[in-house]
A and B are shown apart, each in its own frame.
Chain A
Amino acid sequence: MGGTNGLSRREFTTIGLGLGLVLVGCSGEGSTGGSGKELVIGASLPLTGQFSQPGQEAERGYRIWREMVNADGGILGRQVQLKITDDASSQDTVVADYTRLITQDRVDFLLGTFSSLLNYPASAVAERQGMVFVEPAGGAENIFTRGFDRLFFAQPALSADQANTFVDWVKSLPEAERPASAAYTTQDDPFTRPVIERLQDLLEDLGIKTVYTSVYPAETTNMQPIAAAIAGRKPELLAHGAVFQDGVGLVRALKQQNFSPKALFQMSAPSNAGQYSKGVGEANTEGVFYSVSWHESAPTPLNKEFVAAYAKEYDNAVPAEDAADAFAAAQVLRAGIEGADGTDQDKVAQWLHGNEVETILGPLKWDKRGAPLGSFLLAQWQSGKVQIVSPEEAATAEKAIYPKPGWS
């Protein structure tokens, strides 16, 4: 037995080596972490599981932004490193991931994950740890009722307001041409349901009679009974709170029922470009309306470069809206850091609350809850392509197709 504290020489050496390794480990982390040269931005994304499709698109958006920003000299002279983990579409994992990114990996900043379901708990972790949280998705109203002041949603409006531009377009029609009746169906999802419910209220206020409403579970794969019920009531307008496969499924089932409404508004699904048109058949996309946060040919700063970089990196593909939203979230974060001229989380949050940020989605600004103060664009499939038909200043097509032609 060696020393006075009862440790043998071997034990003493072991502890010493261990401490040494811990110190080396810490200094190694520091070189990429908060105090080092690179600016480390952490995010957890649903790269596998239920939300893996938008999750993987968001990852592409983040990575393209990093390449572009690093080529531009980085942020405040620091190159950007991304630390992205997979939350497997699980609420438990996303909480563990963001906790680890903050407390163990000690990242400098955070970017959000995908879906309201995952951003709801993730943003709470960030707020508790005093971190700014810019989320590219997660527009459910209840995310913004918790009194957070470091949370920012990088889309033009909350989910519930998504259909406002569609209502504006209906209002713009001469009264005699407006649809007289409407049917509403939506997936039971915190993102889609409030939009369709709000839309129903607004259209009823315009005097459009509701002839059918339904809410179906997320697990629903068979849309035929819903299509049969809708066809039986023959609404002139159909509004559908779709995610993706349910959107494709309902169009197919409506066609099988030989029923085509005068106007069809769907959420999300039609924004999946080629996957939607292949799923329903390109001719059947004609005249389908949806609201969208971004358009590939929008004349916003950096949008052209983003689309070109995406095409170069990913086999000439057109970016999905989810990739664009992620890119915009990262633009917001960059603007905040540069605006605050440093990495102090409170200062970045304060700057974002007080300023407007130019993004590829257009200019974004927020209320004190972090909810955006803009509005979505109204898009419509025309001749196999997506056009913006409202508001007028952003329109890429002269007029909307109405009434929608029958199925091909």
Chain B
Amino acid sequence: MAEFVQTLALGLLIGGVYALMASGLTLVFGVMRVINVAQGAFLVLSAFVTWWVWRATGIDPIALAVLTTPLMFGFGWVFYRLVGARLRSAPPSMSVLLMFGVALLIEGLLNVTAGNRYRSATPGYFDESYTLGPISLPKAPLYGFLAALAVLAAFYAVLNRTWTGRAIRAWAQNPSGAALVGVSAVPTATLAFALGTASTGMGGSVLSVLVPFFPASHYEWIARILGIIVLGGLGSLPGALTGALILGLAEALTSVYVSPQWSILVFYGVIMAVLIVRPQGLFGARVREDVAA
């Protein structure tokens, strides 16, 4: 029984962290219908920035999200204004190609500036745990989990409680209708892209403590978070959270009770099964072709 509870706890903790990684990607897709395959590279970029500052100052890496989040927000804002906005009328394949190019560019720049070496932020608690009876709760994933909940709650509040958030959602659902009531396309899309990129600030800071990373690590992350948002439903924040928790639990339970070899297969099996029943994912809405163009 203790082993089962321990496995559930570990699965939920890592699932929460995966949700943090995936939230920005699903937001950007929801608003802009752009699959930002550079999201993994943004995460790794933020992890490097965190590592650099942590090494130089000793400030807690997860707390450094206070720095990396606005930095990545600014980066996303400028990037969208300079590059992303040009994609609005381009076919989706062009945006995927462009963002893949951006991911390679970031990987190359990090290779040159940071070197092709594994880095890892190791604050005092990186390998410590809280103990609850027979259950160990590792501190780093626990803090990452709490950070993920905070970011997801903030996203939810912004999207549902503020005029800006409503404008973003309105534009996501019906750009023409939103334009008729005064929601401007470019500023709204810029804000959504910047918010999606900002989430990689916190995500990268957490990543820097959880696993060693190097410039090419983004391939592992983008594959995983794309799977999560497809499972949850493209564009849905609750979907990203649910999909991520399912992935975390599937990984942990399969690893312990079947074989780690099956864990990824089980996850993609779950995605296939869900998509057969619900092609739009768990929480995704069917896109209305008449208004989505």
Could you tell me which A residues sit within 8 Å of B by CB distance?
48-50, 52-53, 56, 185, 188, 214-217, 219-222, 224-226, 228-229, 232, 244-245, 248-249, 251-253, 255-258, 272, 275, 278-281, 284, 407
With both chains docked as a complex, state the minimum distance between the C-beta of B129 and any C-beta of chain A, in angstroms. 5
Cα A188 to Cα B251 in complex, Å, equals 16
Give 20 pairs: A residue, B residue, CB < 8 Å, sorted on A.
A48-B107, A50-B216, A53-B116, A53-B117, A188-B261, A214-B255, A214-B259, A215-B259, A217-B261, A219-B224, A225-B11, A228-B3, A232-B6, A248-B120, A253-B138, A255-B127, A257-B129, A258-B129, A278-B120, A279-B212
Contact check, B136 vs A50: say whether CB atoms are below 8 A apart: no
Residue of A nearest to B207 (CB): A221
Chain A residues lying within 8 Å of B140, measured Cβ to Cβ, are 256
Are the CB atoms of A220 and B118 closer together than 8 Å? no
Least Cβ–Cβ distance between A330 and chain B, in angstroms: 21
Give the residue of B11, B118, B223 whose beta carbon is less than 8 angstroms from that of A53: B118
Closest A residue, CB atoms, query B104: A48
B14 to chain A, nearest CB (A): 5
In the bound complex, residues from chain B placing their C-beta under 8 Å from that of A221 are 211, 220
Contact across chains for A252 and B126 when beta carbons are under 8 A apart: yes
Taking A225-B263, A256-B139 as known contacts, 9 extra A-B pairs with beta carbons closer than 8 A to each other, sorted by chain A number, are A48-B216, A56-B116, A215-B260, A221-B211, A222-B14, A224-B141, A228-B6, A275-B118, A280-B127
Bound complex: CA of A78 vs CA of B216, how far in Å? 38
CB of B256 within 8 Å of the partner chain = yes
Whether A228 pairs with B118 at a CB distance below 8 angstroms is no
Contact A224 B111 (CB under 8 A): no
Please report the C-alpha to C-alpha distance between residue A257 and residue B252 in the assembled complex, in whole angstroms. 15
Establish whether residues B11 and A272, one from each chain, have CB atoms under 8 Å apart when the complex forms.
Answer: no
Nearest CB of A to B185, in Å: 37
Indicate if B174 sits at the interface (CB-CB under 8 A): no
Between A52, A228, A257, A280, the greatest number of chain B beta carbons within 10 A of the residue's beta carbon is seen for A228
B143 within 8 A of A: no
Chain A residues with CB under 8 Å of B118's CB are: 53, 244-245, 248, 272, 275, 279
Once A224-B252, A258-B136, A279-B120 are accepted as A-B contacts, the answer to whether A248 and B259 lie under 8 Å apart by CB is no
Chain A residues with Cβ below 8 Å from B263 are 216-217, 220, 225
- Chain B residues lying within 8 Å of A216, measured Cβ to Cβ, are 255, 260-261, 263
Question: How many positions in chain B have a CB within 8 Å of any CB in the partner chain?
Answer: 45
**When the two chains form their complex, are residues B259 and A245 in contact, meaning their CB atoms are under 8 A apart?**
no
- Point out the residues of chain A lying under 8 angstroms from B261, CB to CB: 188, 214-217
Residue of A nearest to B139 (CB): A256
Q: Give the residues in chain B near A256, CB-CB below 8 Å.
A: 127-129, 136, 138-140
Give which listed residue, B122, B219, B260, contacts A279 with CB less than 8 A: B122
Complex partner residue of A249 from B11, B212, B252, CB under 8 angstroms: B212
For the complex, is B73 an interface residue (Cβ under 8 Å from A)? no
Residues B211 and A232 in contact, CB atoms below 8 Å apart: no
CB distance from B21 to the nearest CB of A (A): 11
Q: Do A281 and B127 have beta carbons less than 8 Å apart?
A: yes
The smallest C-beta distance from A284 to any residue of chain B, in angstroms, reads: 7
Instruction: Give min CB distance, B216 to chain A, whole Å.
Output: 6
Is B214 close to A, CB under 8 A?
Answer: yes
B252-293 at interface with A (beta carbon < 8 Å): 252-253, 255-256, 259-261, 263-264
Answer whether residue B19 sits at the interface, using C-beta atoms and an 8 A cutoff: no
- Which residues of chain A are within 8 angstroms of B211 by Cβ–Cβ distance? 221-222, 245, 249
* Interface contact B256-A229, CB-CB below 8 Å: yes
Of B108, B128, B213, B256, which is within 8 A of A228 by CB?
B256
What chain B residues lie within 8 Å of A217 (beta carbons)?
260-261, 263-264
- Complex Cα gap A52–B10 (Å): 31
The interface residues of chain B lying within 8 Å CB-to-CB of A257 are: 129, 136
A214 to B262, CA, bound (A): 10
A299 to B177, CA, bound (A): 77
Q: Could you tell me if A284 and B107 are in contact, using CB atoms closer than 8 angstroms?
A: no
Alpha-carbon separation in the docked complex, A53 to B116 (Å): 6
A56 to B212, CA, bound (A): 18
Partner of B260, one of A52, A226, A278: A226
Task: Write out, one digit per residue, whether chain B residues 116-149 have a CB within 8 A of any chain A CB (1) or not (0).
Answer: 1110101000111101000010111100000000
Give every chain B residue within 8 A of A214 (Cβ-Cβ).
Answer: 255, 259-261
CA–CA, A169 and B157, complex, Å: 61
Closest A residue by C-beta to B3: A232
Residues of the B chain whose Cβ atoms lie less than 8 Å from the Cβ of A220: 260, 263-264
**Nearest A residue to B131 by beta-carbon distance?**
A258
| B198–chain A nearest beta-carbon distance, Å | 23
Q: Does B7 contact A (CB under 8 A)?
A: yes
Report chain A residues within 8 Å CB of B220.
Answer: 219, 221
Asked if B216 and A229 sit within 8 Å, CB to CB, the answer is no
> In the complex, A220→B212 CA distance in Å?
12
The answer on a CB contact under 8 Å between B116 and A245 is no
On whether A224 and B14 interact (CB within 8 A), knowing A48-B111, A256-B136, A275-B117, the answer reads yes
- Interface residues in B211-268 by Cβ distance below 8 A to A read 211-216, 219-220, 223-224, 248, 251-253, 255-256, 259-261, 263-264
Judge whether A222 and B120 touch: CB under 8 Å. no
The docked-state distance in angstroms from the alpha carbon of A215 to that of B263 is: 11
Chain B residues with CB below 8 A from A275, complex form: 117-118, 212
* Smallest CB separation, B6 vs chain A (Å): 5
Query: Are A228 and B129 in contact, with the CB atoms below 8 A?
Result: no
Nearest residue in B to A248 (C-beta to C-beta)? B212
In the bound complex, residues from chain B placing their C-beta under 8 Å from that of A232 are 3, 6
Kindly state the separation between the CA atoms of A348 and B138 in the bound complex, as whole angstroms: 56
| Closest A residue, CB atoms, query B117 | A275
CB-based nearest B residue for A185: B260
**B219 to chain A: closest residue by CB:** A50
CA of A275 to CA of B140, assembled, Å: 20
Q: Which 10 A-B pairs have the closest CB atoms?
A: A216-B260, A225-B255, A256-B138, A255-B127, A225-B252, A245-B212, A279-B120, A256-B129, A224-B10, A252-B127
